[in-house]
Amino acid sequence: MNRIVVIGAGQAGASLVAKLRNLGFSGQITLIGAEPVLPYQRPPLSKAYLLGEMALERLFLRPESFYADQKIDLRLGQPVTAIDPVARRITLGTDTLPYDALALTTGSVPRQLPAQIGGQLEGVHLVRDLADADAMGPRFQRGARAVIVGGGYIGLEAAAVAAKKGLDVTVLEMAPRILQRVAAAETADAIRALHQAHGVRILEATGLKQIEGAERVEAVTLSDGRRLVADFVIAGIGIVPQTALAEAAGLRIENGIRTDAQGRTSDTHIWAAGDCASFPWRGAQLRLESVQNAIDQAELVAENIMDAGKEYAPVPWFWSDQYDLKLQIAGLNTGYDRVIPRIGDTRSHWYFVGDRFIAVDALNDPRAFMVGKRLLEQGKSPDPARLADPATELKALLKP
């Protein structure tokens, strides 16, 4: 194998090429990014970077010299327009580039508000890439009126930044409560109370009917008929995997670019990792949207391109920073039927299916997060009664 091409210069792509060199691959590596900037970390965009607490240079995953030193052909601002899996080459601009192995780390794109309800007006923003953050940053002025559509983690993180900067903030959530799909009511209650204590209005079971304005945002009309004056709108209504290139190339799509347990797509010479990729998990194709998954899955794919033959079996973990709260999550709570709370000086919520422990939400409680993560890694389930007892030392749950 002489040439490996990676399409997508985000966290997964950057991790994959670095791992290839670390494993001793001595052939040609090309990393292609559609954005004209070095590979960078995205989580701070809606937090520290938007707050002005992190300089652009600190966002970069590695300095430009790293790619030169590692003889990685880094091509930025060059979106790939086609993949020819038969000839094993890609097209970017007027050039074509051959490959022996191709990895797709194309990530995801945010859902947009429909144009017919005003989604294309000036002052409607998304939160996904550096250009998005730079475009909305100047609007974060004290007293400005922001309406955030979506009560998931992205929307709530943006709301926290806006509130800290002195804006008038309203969050709209169409579901009966915030974090409906991703967290228990107990976790949502704590986060709602935190936002309300910082002056954020959270309107649940309330949809967006129309964004008003001739050319730019002036107000929004809600599903219940209320009208709110607004200076700008942020859409935090989820993301979708970036699969257009893969689909056009004839690759199988199933909740993203479908891969096997080793990260190989339906074409034996093409691999995928990160937000764009789904992999086998308990009888279905699971797709994870997290930094941890982007790194771990990409590094595993790098190993398997080098014939390691390893299968991906992650213990997922996530985090969200809002005000002085660090929410850390280990595991996936899908299908839980009860939640065991531990509330004292710190707070955590433990998810179970029957007596099987599947996930934990730890709110400013790193010990609960680490113990929960280790239990999941070891395949152990703590006794719910002992867990619920605040006198039980968490570390004791790790003992046989």
| Longest alpha-carbon distance in the chain | 67
Q: What does pTM read for this prediction? A: 0.94
How far is 276 from 104, CA to CA, in rounded Å? 8
How far is 136 from 162, CA to CA, in rounded Å? 11
The C-alpha angle 204, 172, 234, rounded to 5 degrees, equals 160
Tell me the mean pLDDT per 10 residues along the chain, length 400: 95 98 97 97 89 92 97 96 98 94 97 96 95 94 97 95 97 97 96 98 98 96 97 96 98 98 98 98 93 97 97 94 96 95 91 96 97 96 92 89
pLDDT in the model for residue 1? 79
Percent helix, strand and coil across the chain, each to the nearest 5: 30, 30, 40
How far is 1 from 28, CA to CA, in rounded Å? 9
pLDDT in the model for residue 345? 80
pLDDT in the model for residue 382? 95
Tokens representing residue 81 in the block: 């327009």
pLDDT in the model for residue 50? 87
Looking at 107-200, which runs of residues are DSSP E strands? 108-110, 124-126, 145-149, 168-173
pLDDT in the model for residue 254? 97
CA-based end-to-end distance of the chain: 47
pLDDT in the model for residue 331? 97
> Could you count the other beta carbons within 10 Å of the beta carbon of residue 360?
28
pLDDT in the model for residue 374? 97
Under DSSP, the state recorded for 310 is P
How far is 69 from 84, CA to CA, in rounded Å? 30
Domains annotated for the chain, with CATH where assigned, are: 3-109+239-305 (3.50.50.60), 112-235 (3.50.50.60), 324-398 (3.30.390.30)
CB 40 within 8 A of CB 60: yes
How far is CA 373 from each of CA 8, 186, 321, 358, rounded to the nearest angstrom? 30, 20, 19, 10
How far is 253 from 271, CA to CA, in rounded Å? 13
Tokens representing residue 68 in the block: 């030169």
- Which residues have C-beta within 8 Å of that of residue 207, sequence separation ≥ 6? 172, 174, 222, 223
Of 170, 193, 179, nearest to 318 (Cα)? 179
Under DSSP, the state recorded for 88 is T
